[in-house]
Amino acid sequence: MDYDAIIIGAGISGLYQLYRLRELGLRVRVLEAGTGVGGTWYWNRYPGARFDSESYSYCYSFSAELLQEWDWTEHFSPQPQTLKYLNHVADKFDLRRDIEFSTRVTAAHYDDDARGWMVTADTGAQYRSRYLVTAIGPLSAPTMPRIDGIETFAGEAHHTARWPHHPVSFDGKRVAVIGTGATGVQAIQEIAKTAGHLTVFQRTPNWCKPLKNRPIDAAEMMRIKAGYADIFRRCEESFACFLHTPDPRNTFDVSAEEREAFLERLYEMPGFGMWQGNFRDMMTNPQANAVISDFIARKIRQRVSNPEVADKLIPKNHGFGTRRVPMETNYYEVYNQPNVLLVDLKETPIERITPNGIRTTAAEHPFDMIVFATGFDAVTGSFDRIDIRGVKAARLKDTWRPGIATFLGVLVRDFPNMFMLMGPHTALGNIPRSIEHNVDWVTGVIGHMQKFGLTRADAMPEAVAAWTEYVRETGQALLSNQVDSWMTGINSNVDGKQVRSMVRYSGSAPAYREWCRKVASGGYRELAFA
């Protein structure tokens, strides 16, 4: 074997996994497609990119020294600062010496005789290792829309997740943004500040909530540093690892006045409180959800001066919180600007992109620049882009075709010694909190194997069946699993993603951790070792 472990990806998951496996004394290599560390925060350099998680709840918690030496400057950190932070982490722990950049893994094949993986990169290099850890990101494979003529556009064109490393100016330009998901919303409110004219092409409006970001001064940062233990404890106890967790009351337990006052408070509160800290039945009771959606709809109508435009911005096909909630700062007010036009693609679909711009069924719009905020082939997309084969050369893609099946979202039967970080069926939420837990658990399994001289770990079929059923069960009652979104495996721009599937675990993070804890403390009886 060339290495004990190959880790694919140098985002938050891959960096921490490298750190932990080094602690075990393993020879580790990280293969990363980008030219630098940071994953999401390396690729997504579009204007306005920032956290929706509170900065101090998102950062790594494993090093007290790191926590004490890093100052966050905003409650919701902008992308450049986050990238700086992750570079600082890489330098502080001397991680770069084990990372190969500009190296995209194209194939990973399991060899049962050697009990290891043969990993092939686009550079032509091959690597043999005992363990394979995929840290390839739930939102890292960008998708372009399927529009005729897309390649013929003669102006500037950028996908938000492949944003250039040089500054992009919108000054005086005619700019189009396609897409109004969490990224589109962040980009639109920023681009509208300087573009000569901005046209937003919207297929599905989302329920957006004010972010209420503000700077952190030195005194506040000192208080945050003193309170880190409490911050991480709160994240650990909450449903989805955020600082916000559902209110114990149901929507109709309180009077209409009390409800309205509570919703007003949540609306004014920074961050995801309106989504993650709302009445506990918001995500399961359609009537409760309708009341909250109606509250947000009223806010949109108040903030957008043209009632027809406001109506177009109000979602009709899903309730508040059932898709990823974009966080905004004056997003709705953008549509009151004279230089901004909203085009509703449900009314006037795009016919084609021309060298000059975009033609809908109603008009020809000339542009200097098109920004594609069209998101990702989520969760499984980064796996589908690698030819991953397990025992008897079975392809992972084929194994999952009838439905994703995993053990704890980490192991897949017949793909021995492969460990997934932030893969399908794992707890996501405030993701770094889940990453640290996942990495620690994987490190535990690998440490166990090293200790007892074991060379092969696979998930037992019964364990896979039990976990996969639990994922299905916990997701069943959720309204979010009854609408089309990346969380239910839908992407109209990707072949084979037209039917809803259970791609993520939607139960609570504490329950997830409890499963993992029991497996570890029971000596990993759910895994077959050899």
Residue 281 CA to residue 263 CA, distance in Å, equals 14
CA distances (Å), 314 to each of 181, 291, 309, 421, 426, in order? Answer: 13, 14, 9, 35, 31
Please identify, using beta-carbon distances, which residue of 288 and 386 lies nearer to ligand FAD: 386
Closest CB to ligand FAD among 134 and 360? 134
Q: Tell me whether strands 350-353 and 357-360 are parallel, antiparallel or unpaired.
A: antiparallel
Nearer to ligand FAD, 13 or 481 (CB): 13
Rounded to a whole number of angstroms, the minimum distance from the CB of residue 373 to ligand FAD is 10
Q: Phi and psi for 120 in degrees, rounded to 5?
A: -115, 135
Nearest approach, Cβ of residue 44 and ligand FAD (Å): 4
Indicate the residue among 290 and 490 with the shorter CB distance to ligand FAD.
Answer: 490
Let me know the angle formed at the C-alpha of 107 by 466 and 128, rounded to the nearest 5 degrees.
90
Residue 96 Cβ, how far from ligand FAD at the closest point, in Å?
14
User: Cβ of 230: how many Cβ atoms within 10 Å?
Assistant: 9
Residues found in the chain = 530
Strand partners, 215: 74
Query: Closest CB to ligand FAD among 138 and 319?
Result: 138
Q: Shortest Cβ distance from residue 15 to ligand FAD (Å)?
A: 7
Q: How near is the Cβ of 242 to ligand FAD at its closest, in Å?
A: 8
Minimum separation from the CB atom of position 135 to ligand FAD (A): 5
The amino acid that residue 463 corresponds to is A
Residue 216 beta carbon to ligand FAD: minimum distance, rounded to whole angstroms: 16
Is 328:187 a contact under the CB 8 Å cutoff?
no
The string of DSSP letters for 64-127 reads HHHHHH---SBSS-BHHHHHHHHHHHHHHTT-GGGEE-S--EEEEEEETTTTEEEEEETTS-EE
Considering the complex, state which of residue 182 and residue 310 has its C-beta at the smaller distance from ligand FAD.
182
Find the Cα–Cα–Cα–Cα dihedral 250, 254, 257, 261, rounded to 10°.
Answer: -50
Nearer to ligand FAD, 52 or 368 (CB): 52
Q: Residues in the site for ligand FAD, rule: CB under 6 A?
A: 8-14, 31-34, 39-40, 42, 44, 49, 51-53, 58, 104-105, 135-140, 183, 382, 385-386, 421-422, 430-431, 435
